[in-house]
């Protein structure tokens, strides 16, 4: 072999650029090291080796059928920043504001909230007696428990305080824009962005924002609805939904009506009954009153923790033991949801016994209350004080359907008219979002309405809907199982989204949406599953969109533990992707073959090495943030 000119060989090997210059995105100090390499003795050594190598490789012609694939000049671990808009700052939005920035590098997050502060349900619902009907120690984040709840079943104001404290502690407020009500979110295929119109509720001005992703966290009970009876507009007294309570109205000594015997009606009735002159309670359907949720003692009076209990909770281990035992009860009350199960049968007998005892003053009411559907068809409500209240002499328990509202009160279909100073409607909420989410000419909410294209909230695993790219729901349809806790379900769902957002931002993905086949398979599974449960008994509930016979979309088809497993490991094969690269090559994000970390001589490239006693083989090499 004759002698070879090292410079021309280098040019041939590098296409004329110096090592390091080929990767202009590499950190400066790496380029400096490369520049040094280009002129050093080491360089000579490398050339000698190259000189002995075979001839340069053949250049293959580009594929004729798609744009020429070009290497992207970046490390594989160079994620792009995603602009993410969360709608709503209830506990779901607050948890999103805590978890997403912690789990999604470079996220550019804004949370729009129509109210003046965070808290959602607990900010808005201030009717007399509003409180958690499960223990406060079970209704909090898994990672920052409050040990010093004053009552076992905390009042709404204390729960609100807790979530506002969380928002402060984790600096969520910096992401939230208040008094900002989303009017529409419209998808642009050209831009691959959601174009969001927001109304400033203080000034009534609207403005537009854009986002790569929209995550709805607008709650299932936030879009409250008044009933649509004839004459409702004529009524001249105080007319309020319980979620829109007027704190300036003093019901003391007044004649009032409460419509609805869902959880809100059941909670407000015993709190109004002792102070009003007369209470007409319109309950058109029967319902179960649960003794308790999971074996807890319930009383109408506040159930305070003793000073000794609270002191003992200051010890981490004591509190953890208490918390785990209490929370476990809420994960283990699942068997009673199955039709014909012994647990459900026992529940029915137990509830009838309790209801009979508590209705002792007017035993005839038992027949008016015990439904022909099974317990758990509607969400259970312990309703402390409710049955006692409706047996009191100043309460008229009205099951005759309402015919119309008048200027002074309510007339039922039997012609009876009852005059009242105020009407409180505990009449529930719309099952579908009341703002517009539009993609490719389709309004999501319209398709979800009973008369719409799907007729129910059509989703893939309660996460997203085919045809609506880059749109995710937190605690929306199929949010959680009938067991477990709301905050746990929300945290797990947000963790799924963190994985999805990391995948999108790090793998050159432009859009992502679930496949129709996957969504259809989920609906098929859900239908078969719910048919085995009492949720498909003949009752109306928010789980079936308020009408017996409609599909169950309010619950996860399985237990809370079950949905946790499903959402822990995303099935990426159920999603459809488009890519940022012109070539649409799914591997374009591989970049220049480097990781930015390895290109940085200062980085801890062997961060995976640990003291052996700190290693757990179960999660060895599974930490998303740790790579060489
Ligand atoms: C009176 C009441 C009592 C409850 N008690 C319990 C209980 O004891 N235990 C339990 O597990 N669950 C209970 N729930 C259910 C409760 O709603 C959930 O547990 C939980 O609070 C839901 O939180 P979220 O953040 O998902 O929704 P929400 O708390 O409803 O928050 C949604 C947020 O989205 C905002 N929003 C809505 N639309 C827009 C828009 N267009 N633009 C901007 N912002 C918007 C709202 O203002 C709100 O702040 C109760 C519900 C009600 C109504
Ligand atoms: N911590 C708590 O104690 C608590 C308190 C409140 C709410 N919550 C939560 O919030 C959920 C929603 O509870 P909610 O009570 O607000 O709503 P809900 O469970 O949907 O109940 C709505 C009630 O209003 C009645 N209603 C609706 N439209 C009516 C009409 N036109 N005329 C007469 N009655 C009408 C319904 O009767 P039909 O059944 O006949 O349709 C039902 O009794 C609960 O399931 C629970 O998860 C919890």
Over residues 289-305, the mean pLDDT reads 83
Confidence check: pLDDT of 63 > 70: no
Question: How far is the C-alpha of 529 from the C-alpha of 507, rounded, in Å?
Answer: 35
Structure tokens at 446: 């319209």
Over residues 267-280, the pLDDT tens digits come to 999 999 999 999 99
Task: Say what angle helices 560-568 and 486-506 make with each other, to 10 degrees.
Answer: 10
Over residues 6-15, the mean pLDDT reads 38
Beta-bridged to residue 429, according to DSSP, are 224
Please count the CA atoms within 13 angstroms of the CA of 607 that sit on its side-chain side: 14
Over residues 182-189, the mean pLDDT reads 98
Distance 477 CA to ligand 1 centre (A): 13
Confidence check: pLDDT of 21 > 70: no
Fold of 83-222+430-579: FAD/NAD(P)-binding domain (3.50.50)
Query: Which ligand 2 atom is nearest residue 379's CA?
Result: 45
Tell me whether the CATH fold assigned to 83-222+430-579 matches the one assigned to 232-294+332-425: yes
pLDDT band at 50 (very low <50, low <70, confident <90, very high): low
Over residues 395-446, the pLDDT tens digits come to 999 999 999 999 999 999 999 999 999 999 999 999 899 999 999 999 999 9
- What is the reported pLDDT for 54? 79
- What is the reported pLDDT for 317? 98
Ligand 2 contacts CB of residue 482 (under 6 A)? no
Confidence check: pLDDT of 9 > 80: no
- What is the reported pLDDT for 15? 39
Cβ partners under 8 Å of residue 336, min gap 6: 343, 344, 346, 347, 375, 376
Over residues 206-223, the mean pLDDT reads 97
Confidence check: pLDDT of 48 > 80: no
Distance 151 CA to ligand 1 centre (A): 21
Query: Which ligand 2 atom is nearest residue 381's CA?
Result: 3
Q: What's phi and psi for 473, nearest 5 deg?
A: -120, 130
pLDDT band at 2 (very low <50, low <70, confident <90, very high): very low
Ligand 2 contacts CB of residue 264 (under 6 A)? yes
Q: What percent of the chain has pLDDT over 90?
A: 85
Cβ partners under 8 Å of residue 369, min gap 6: 286, 287, 289, 355, 359, 387
Question: How far is the C-alpha of 216 from the C-alpha of 89, rounded, in Å?
Answer: 10
Confidence check: pLDDT of 7 > 80: no
Over residues 39-56, the mean pLDDT reads 53
Ligand 2 contacts CB of residue 379 (under 6 A)? yes
pTM: 0.91
- What is the reported pLDDT for 465? 98
Ligand 1 contacts CB of residue 484 (under 6 A)? no
Distance 306 CA to ligand 2 centre (A): 33
- What is the reported pLDDT for 68? 75
All structural domains of the chain with their residue ranges: 6-52, 83-222+430-579, 232-294+332-425
Confidence check: pLDDT of 490 > 80: yes
How many degrees, rounded to 5, is the angle at CA 181 between CA 177 and CA 182?
Answer: 105
- What is the reported pLDDT for 28? 52
Over residues 19-37, the mean pLDDT reads 43
- What is the reported pLDDT for 544? 94
Q: Whose CA is nearest to atom 51 of ligand 1?
A: 121
Count of positions (residues) in the chain: 628
Ligand 1 contacts CB of residue 268 (under 6 A)? no
Higher local confidence (pLDDT), 27 or 452:
452
232-294+332-425 CATH choice from 1.10.3720.10, 3.50.50.60, 3.40.30.10, 3.40.228.10: 3.50.50.60
Distance 390 CA to ligand 1 centre (A): 28
Ligand 1 contacts CB of residue 222 (under 6 A)? yes
Question: How far is the C-alpha of 226 from the C-alpha of 247, rounded, in Å?
Answer: 18
Structure tokens at 495: 């963790």
Segment among 80-84, 480-484, 586-590 with least mean pLDDT: 480-484
Segment among 16-20, 378-382, 620-624 with least mean pLDDT: 16-20
**Cα–Cα nearest to 162, from 133, 176, 141:** 141
Segment among 25-34, 50-59, 194-203, 475-484 with least mean pLDDT: 25-34
Distance 223 CA to ligand 1 centre (A): 9
Average pLDDT in the chain: 91
Confidence check: pLDDT of 581 > 70: yes
Ligand 1 contacts CB of residue 87 (under 6 A)? yes
Decide if 258 contacts 245 (C-beta within 8 A).
Answer: no
């Amino acid at each position: 072999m004759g002698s070879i000119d090292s410079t021309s060989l280098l040019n041939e090997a590098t296409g004329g650029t110096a090592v390091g210059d080929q990767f202009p995105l590499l950190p400066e100090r790496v380029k400096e090291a490369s520049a040094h390499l280009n002129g050093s003795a080491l360089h000579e050594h490398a050339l000698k080796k190259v000189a002995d190598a075979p001839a340069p490789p053949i250049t293959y012609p580009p594929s004729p059928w798609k744009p020429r694939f070009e290497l992207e000049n970046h490390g594989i671990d160079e994620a792009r920043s995603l602009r993410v808009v969360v709608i709503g700052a209830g506990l779901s939005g607050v948890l999103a504001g805590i978890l997403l920035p912690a789990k999604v590098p470079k996220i550019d997050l804004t949370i729009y909230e129509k109210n003046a502060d965070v808290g959602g349900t607990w900010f808005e619902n201030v009717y007399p007696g509003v409180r958690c009907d499960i223990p406060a120690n079970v209704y909090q984040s898994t990672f920052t428990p409050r040990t010093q709840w004053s009552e076992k079943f905390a009042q709404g104001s204390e729960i609100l305080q807790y979530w506002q404290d969380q928002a402060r502690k984790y600096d969520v407020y910096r992401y939230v824009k208040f008094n900002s009500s989303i009017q529409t979110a419209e998808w642009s295929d050209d831009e691959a962005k959601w174009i969001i119109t927001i109304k400033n509720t203080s000034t009534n001005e609207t403005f537009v924002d854009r986002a790569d992703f929209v995550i709805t966290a607008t709650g299932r009970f936030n879009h409250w609805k008044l009933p649509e009876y004839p004459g409702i507009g004529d009524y001249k007294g105080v007319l309020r939904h319980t979620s829109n309570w007027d704190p300036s109205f003093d019901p003391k000594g007044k004649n009032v009506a409460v419509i609805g015997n869902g959880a809100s009606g059941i909670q407000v009735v015993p709190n109004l009954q002792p102070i009003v002159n007369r209470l007409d309670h319109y309950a058109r359907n029967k319902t179960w009153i649960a003794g308790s949720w999971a074996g807890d003692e319930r009383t109408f009076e506040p159930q305070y923790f003793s000073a000794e209990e609270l002191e003992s909770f200051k010890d981490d281990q004591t509190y953890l033991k208490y918390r785990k035992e209490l929370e476990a009860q809420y994960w283990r009350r699942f068997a009673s949801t199955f039709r014909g199960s012994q647990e459900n049968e026992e529940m029915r007998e137990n509830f009838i016994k309790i209801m009979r005892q508590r209705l002792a003053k007017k035993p005839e009411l038992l027949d008016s209350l015990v439904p022909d559907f099974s317990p758990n068809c509607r969400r259970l409500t312990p309703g402390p004080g409710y049955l006692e209240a409706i047996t009191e002499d100043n309460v008229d328990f009205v099951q005759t359907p309402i015919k119309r509202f008048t200027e002074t009160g309510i007339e039922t279909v039997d012609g009876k008219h009852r005059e009242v100073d105020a009407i409180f409607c505990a009449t529930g909420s719309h099952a579908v979002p009341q703002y517009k989410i539009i993609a490719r000419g389709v309004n999501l909410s319209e398709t979800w309405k009973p008369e719409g294209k799907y007729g129910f909230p059509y989703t893939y695993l309660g996460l997203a809907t085919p045809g609506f790219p880059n749109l995710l729901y937190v605690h929306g349809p199929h949010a959680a199982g009938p067991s477990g806790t709301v905050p746990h379900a929300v945290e797990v769902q947000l963790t799924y989204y963190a994985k999805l957002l990391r995948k999108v931002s790090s793998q050159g993905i432009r859009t992502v949406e679930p496949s129709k086949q996957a969504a259809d398979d989920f609906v098929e599974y859900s239908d078969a599953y719910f048919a085995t449960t009492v949720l498909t008994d003949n009752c109306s509930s928010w789980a079936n969109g308020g009408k017996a016979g409609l599909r169950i979309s309010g619950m996860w088809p399985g237990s809370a533990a079950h949905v946790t497993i499903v959402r822990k490991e995303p099935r990426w094969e159920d999603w459809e992707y488009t890519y940022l690269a012109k070539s649409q090559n799914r591997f374009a994000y591989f970049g220049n073959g480097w990781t930015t970390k390895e290109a940085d001589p200062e980085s801890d490239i062997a961060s995976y090495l640990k003291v052996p006693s700190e290693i757990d083989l179960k999660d060895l090499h599974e930490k998303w943030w740790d790579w060489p």
